[in-house]
Amino acid sequence: MSDDIEIDIDDLSRRMDGAIASLRVEFASLRTGRASGSMLEPVQVEAYGQMTPINQLGTVNVPEPRMVTINVWDKAMVGKVEKAIRESGLGINPQLNGTIIMLPIPELNEERRRELTKVAGSYAEHARVAVRNVRRDGMDKIKKAKNDGMSEDDQKLWESEVQELTDKHIAMIDKALETKQEEIMQV
């Protein structure tokens, strides 16, 4: 490879890793029939003039496999947190007990499980697109470097390295999707 022209493979890899990390966060928010505090991460509450995550308004606990509780610190926020959960699309009906909001996690039926696997598939496809966009950026840099004097052999070497990195990350996304879909479909 030429000493004067370098393609930053580490940067491309870091950006592709970011797409996978984002996918894992999205997967964590999908319900699988088991209680998890992370399922509330995408829910935002209008509090003190701005949108705030629930975990900044109270303590989120999982006391039982099918129960999440939120101990809201400010009594005035209990109603807003409850409303945000109801409107979040999680399919959970909050129950109030003073400043504690209890979220019983219902058993998932077969239809809902299939819907969730489709949602997981769309999250995975977004991650694949993000990885492919990073690949395209890398390939564009290689083409620019070729125009700036990179040899054809170096170009082919860099292109194969970027493609190999892309294939590795796409395989990681596919494996994560397969694992998540099995988890969702498990009764």
pLDDT digits (tens, 9 = 90+) for 151-160: 889 999 999 9
Q: How far is CA 65 from CA 10, 100, 106, 186, in A?
A: 41, 18, 11, 15
> Average of pLDDT values for 86-102?
84
Predicted confidence (pLDDT) at residue 11 exceeds the cutoff of 50? yes
Of 32-36, 77-81, 96-100, the poorest mean pLDDT is in: 32-36
> Average of pLDDT values for 105-132?
88
> Average of pLDDT values for 80-84?
90
pLDDT, tens digit, 9 for 90 and up, residues 18-75? 999 989 888 877 766 677 777 787 788 988 889 888 888 999 998 888 889 999 998 9
Residue 8 or residue 4, greater confidence: 8
Pinpoint the residues of the chain covered by CATH 3.30.1360.40.
34-104
Q: Evaluate whether 13 touches 168 at the Cβ level (below 8 Å).
A: no
Residue 40 or residue 79, greater confidence: 79
Q: Evaluate whether 43 touches 84 at the Cβ level (below 8 Å).
A: yes
Pinpoint the residues of the chain covered by CATH 1.10.132.20.
9-27+109-185
Of 4-18, 59-73, 125-139, 169-183, the poorest mean pLDDT is in: 4-18
Supply the pLDDT for residue 32.
Answer: 67
Of 37-41, 76-80, 107-111, the range with the highest mean pLDDT is 76-80
Q: Which residues contact 16 (CB under 8 A, 6 or more apart)?
A: 130, 131, 134, 135, 165, 166, 169
Fold of 34-104: Gyrase A; domain 2 (3.30.1360)
CATH number of 9-27+109-185: 1.10.132.20
Supply the pLDDT for residue 33.
Answer: 65
Supply the pLDDT for residue 3.
Answer: 43
Predicted confidence (pLDDT) at residue 1 exceeds the cutoff of 50? no
Q: Evaluate whether 45 touches 61 at the Cβ level (below 8 Å).
A: no
* 187 confidence band (pLDDT: 50, 70, 90): low
Q: Evaluate whether 101 touches 72 at the Cβ level (below 8 Å).
A: yes
